[in-house]
A and B are shown apart, each in its own frame.
Chain A
Amino acid sequence: MGIVINGTTIETDENGYLVNLEDWTEEIAGQLAEGEEIEMSDEHWSLVKFLRNYYDEYQIAPAVKVLTKAIAAEKGMDKKEASEFLYGLFPKGPALQACKVAGLPKPTGCV
């Protein structure tokens, strides 16, 4: 399985997540978002970049609670508003959709 960019196939897993983190480019992110029926706005991009930076530092996608808090702090929202904001951007949830667009792997285990 994979997605095709400029004639090159980029490998994805059964759920459509990138297999290799380093394959990620903004162009690929755009295509992944299209597959999720999401039109990328500046807000989307800034969240995706936040996720990638977080991953660089912590080697895992942020826990939903950690992410919500970070967004609340950045946007001057309370946490409930931040949560609604996140779900507004990625209706199927930041853990699933936003991580997919950001090219991060999906966490496994008791989650």
Chain B
Amino acid sequence: MSKYAPRKAQLAREFLEKPTPLKGARADREWWEMPVDFHDGNWCFPGKPETLKEIGFPNPRKWAATDEDWQLPDGWQKIIHDGLKERLKKFRSLKLYLDACVRCGACADKCHFFLGTGDPKNMPVIRAELLRSVYRNDFPMVEKILKGFSGSRKLTAEVIKEWHSYFYQCTECRRCSVFCPLGIDTAEITMVARELLNLIGVNNNWILAPVANCNRTGNHLGIEPHTFVQNIMSLVDDIEELTGITVNPTFNRKGAEILFITPSGDVFGDPGVYTMMGYLLLFHHIGLDYTISTYASEGGNFGLFTTNEMMKKLNAKMYHEAERLKVKWILGGECGHMWRVVHQYMATMNGPADFLEEPVSPITGTKFTNAASTKMVHIAEFTADLIKHGKLKLDPSRNNHLRTTFHDSCNVSRGMGMLEEPRFVLNSVCSSFNEMPENTIREKTFCCGSGSGINAEEFMEMRMRGGFPRANAVRTVKKQHQVNALVTICAIDRATLPPLMRYWNPGVAVYGLHELVGNALVMEGETPRTEDLRENPMAVAEEGEDDDA
């Protein structure tokens, strides 16, 4: 395990010995009197100066969160004050969220970081208060009336350190907002806080490096076009070896009906590449007229975790490319935050994408009216529709070596309300699907603990703490149903859940939904399958047994 992760025994001892609000203990002081602590494992390395220069972000320099002096730019208070003022004008939601909170505390114990740390500043109500307290001081209408009671405070360098710590201990997952009686979306407060921090060069390299890469090459990993093609063609060879089927993806092909865009983690990362193999098999199976772009080679958008403008810029490339290639619409792969951007912001940010057509499945004729404005369809929905119409030949018993559970990705479940489609697909391609406890799934799903660009290795302690509630729910089904496969539809999940499982639940592997689809698909002309896409032995039907058994 990473040197940045604490021993489990150490966490257990801490929980037993330390008084914590998790056990009903009252803190010995007010939250604003608690000092900020940076130690190995709880902060992300800052953006590199050359990365900041590349994307034109302010105050490039070398620094560390553990430094006493963060080398903030001259006049940084004014920059933050003006920045907040501007955003309050621009985003009415922000003003509403800052004004409306009555501090009822319904959100307090809903955050995975609070549950994993017991730190009161990880209660969403207080996380928002970190910014709200400065807002109250700056815009003192309320302060004038409630002098001394409104919780306002001055903006100091210590406050900036606190913001940096706690707005990166929020994964923008929005579980808290499900429980807020006023519907306050703390994720949007975190987004604005991070945007303000970026104005003065307080940032995170694990976010800015992918942003710079995407800005330059079209994807977070910085994969150049020829490498992108080589990676996918290598998977094509693997598919041929396993199934005897030669799939024929095309790249940057003008006039294809559909442009397929997925996170670059699916092209490069393990286990994402197996999900990619699943997509390729599926598209071949149905004879889809599609192409893959080496420029719009990323579905994810780490711009979402930096600034509104950067998010807009990175999102635009997908649509530029769709327009250039003259496709009818875009099919999007298994990604989490990409769908928050596309589903909730795209239509008014770069859209409406009127140069594309309202998506219609060429195989079933189904109109995806929900994507009428964005022209982008989620692959789980696309595949569910194929299965519903009996267009796929599937043998779920080929996944009999897997006892599955499903992790709802925060941004797909809460960000676009997609709950049933992935379950329908999963139930169609495997025989053992076991739900985790009710309050940990669907719109109440627990985050992987590393979303929103904090999946850096040096943040491992916080990741293992923040992922604890999710891991604990997996542990339940592992015990009850011997679950050994955690299925998900997000590339960050596929990157972050494996270490989380190794830490808390050894023996549970992480899969993409379409990897299981790829295992179950009975391809015309295939050689007898004996191994799954990972080249592990798969359940093979006994001779004489019905294929569909």
Interface residue stretch chosen among A23-31, A41-49, A102-110: A102-110
Are A111 and B495 touching (Cβ within 8 A)? yes
Which residues from A are CB-within-8-Å of B491? 110
Are B234 and A109 touching (Cβ within 8 A)? no
A77 at the interface (CB under 8 A from B): no
Complex Cα gap A111–B268 (Å): 8
Which residues from B are CB-within-8-Å of A66? 230-231, 234
Which residues from B are CB-within-8-Å of A111? 221, 265, 268-269, 272, 495
Q: What 1/0 mask marks residues of chain A from 49 to 70 whose CB sits below 8 Å from any chain B CB?
A: 0000000001110011110010
Are A108 and B457 touching (Cβ within 8 A)? no
Are B223 and A60 touching (Cβ within 8 A)? yes
Complex Cα gap A4–B210 (Å): 30
Q: Which residue of B lies closest to A69 (CB)?
A: B234
Are B220 and A110 touching (Cβ within 8 A)? yes
Q: Chain B CB within 10 Å — which of A60, A66, A108 has the most?
A: A108
Are B264 and A110 touching (Cβ within 8 A)? yes
Are B48 and A108 touching (Cβ within 8 A)? no
Are B209 and A58 touching (Cβ within 8 A)? no
Which residues from A are CB-within-8-Å of B535? 79-80
CB distance from B333 to the nearest CB of A (A): 11
Q: Which residue of B lies closest to A64 (CB)?
A: B270
B358 at the interface (CB under 8 A from A): no
Q: Which of B191-207 contact A (CB under 8 A)?
A: 205-206
Are A110 and B226 touching (Cβ within 8 A)? no
A22 at the interface (CB under 8 A from B): no
A15 at the interface (CB under 8 A from B): yes
Q: Which residue of B lies closest to A66 (CB)?
A: B234
Are B270 and A65 touching (Cβ within 8 A)? yes
Q: Which residue of A lies closest to B51 (CB)?
A: A108
Complex Cα gap A35–B269 (Å): 26
A14 at the interface (CB under 8 A from B): yes
Which residues from B are CB-within-8-Å of A34? none
Complex Cα gap A14–B456 (Å): 12
Are A108 and B495 touching (Cβ within 8 A)? no
Contact of A58 among B206, B224, B235, B267 (CB under 8 A): B224
Q: Which of B144-177 contact A (CB under 8 A)?
A: none
Q: Which residue of B lies closest to A59 (CB)?
A: B224
Q: A58-B230, A108-B205 are in contact. Are A13 and B265 (CB under 8 A)?
A: no
Per the CB 8 Å criterion, the residue count for chain B at the interface is: 40
Are A60 and B263 touching (Cβ within 8 A)? no
Are B270 and A109 touching (Cβ within 8 A)? no
Q: Which residue of A lies closest to B224 (CB)?
A: A59
Which residues from A are CB-within-8-Å of B64? 14
Complex Cα gap A108–B205 (Å): 9
B45 at the interface (CB under 8 A from A): yes
Q: Which residue of A lies closest to B494 (CB)?
A: A110
Which residues from A are CB-within-8-Å of B231? 63, 66
B300 at the interface (CB under 8 A from A): yes
Complex Cα gap A93–B68 (Å): 35
Which residues from A are CB-within-8-Å of B269? 63, 110-111
Are A108 and B270 touching (Cβ within 8 A)? no
Q: A63-B269, A64-B270 are in contact. Are A109 and B302 (CB under 8 A)?
A: yes
Q: Which residue of A lies closest to B298 (CB)?
A: A109
Which residues from A are CB-within-8-Å of B80? none
Q: Chain B CB within 10 Å — which of A64, A65, A110 has the most?
A: A110
Q: Which residue of A lies closest to B209 (CB)?
A: A108
CB distance from A67 to the nearest CB of B (A): 10
Are A14 and B270 touching (Cβ within 8 A)? no
Complex Cα gap A69–B231 (Å): 12
Are B270 and A60 touching (Cβ within 8 A)? no
Q: Which of B223-240 contact A (CB under 8 A)?
A: 223-224, 226-227, 230-231, 234-235, 238
Complex Cα gap A70–B204 (Å): 34
Are A14 and B458 touching (Cβ within 8 A)? yes
CB distance from A101 to the nearest CB of B (A): 17
Complex Cα gap A101–B205 (Å): 21
Are B273 and A108 touching (Cβ within 8 A)? no
Which residues from B are CB-within-8-Å of A108? 205-206, 209-210, 213, 220-221
CB distance from B269 to the nearest CB of A (A): 4
Q: Which residue of B lies closest to A58 (CB)?
A: B227
Which residues from B are CB-within-8-Å of A14? 45, 64, 458
Which residues from A are CB-within-8-Å of B270? 63-65
Complex Cα gap A3–B231 (Å): 33
Complex Cα gap A13–B206 (Å): 13
Are B458 and A109 touching (Cβ within 8 A)? no
Are B222 and A110 touching (Cβ within 8 A)? no
B454 at the interface (CB under 8 A from A): no
Complex Cα gap A13–B455 (Å): 18
Are A13 and B48 touching (Cβ within 8 A)? yes
Complex Cα gap A80–B263 (Å): 27
Complex Cα gap A105–B401 (Å): 37
Are B273 and A109 touching (Cβ within 8 A)? no
Q: Which residue of A lies closest to B299 (CB)?
A: A110
Complex Cα gap A79–B457 (Å): 27
Complex Cα gap A79–B535 (Å): 9
B487 at the interface (CB under 8 A from A): no
Q: A59-B227, A63-B270 are in contact. Are A109 and B45 (CB under 8 A)?
A: no
Can you show 30 pairs from A to B with CB atoms below 8 A apart?
A14-B45, A14-B458, A15-B45, A58-B227, A58-B230, A59-B224, A60-B222, A63-B231, A63-B268, A63-B269, A64-B270, A65-B234, A66-B230, A69-B238, A107-B268, A108-B206, A108-B210, A108-B221, A109-B221, A109-B263, A109-B265, A110-B263, A110-B265, A110-B269, A110-B272, A110-B492, A110-B495, A111-B221, A111-B268, A111-B495
Binding site for B on A (CB under 8 A): 13-15, 58-60, 63-66, 69, 79-80, 107-111
Q: Which 3 A-B pairs have the closest CB atoms?
A: A109-B220, A110-B265, A110-B491
Further pairs besides A63-B273, A107-B221: 10, Cβ < 8 Å:
A14-B64, A58-B226, A59-B227, A60-B222, A64-B270, A65-B234, A107-B222, A110-B491, A110-B495, A111-B495
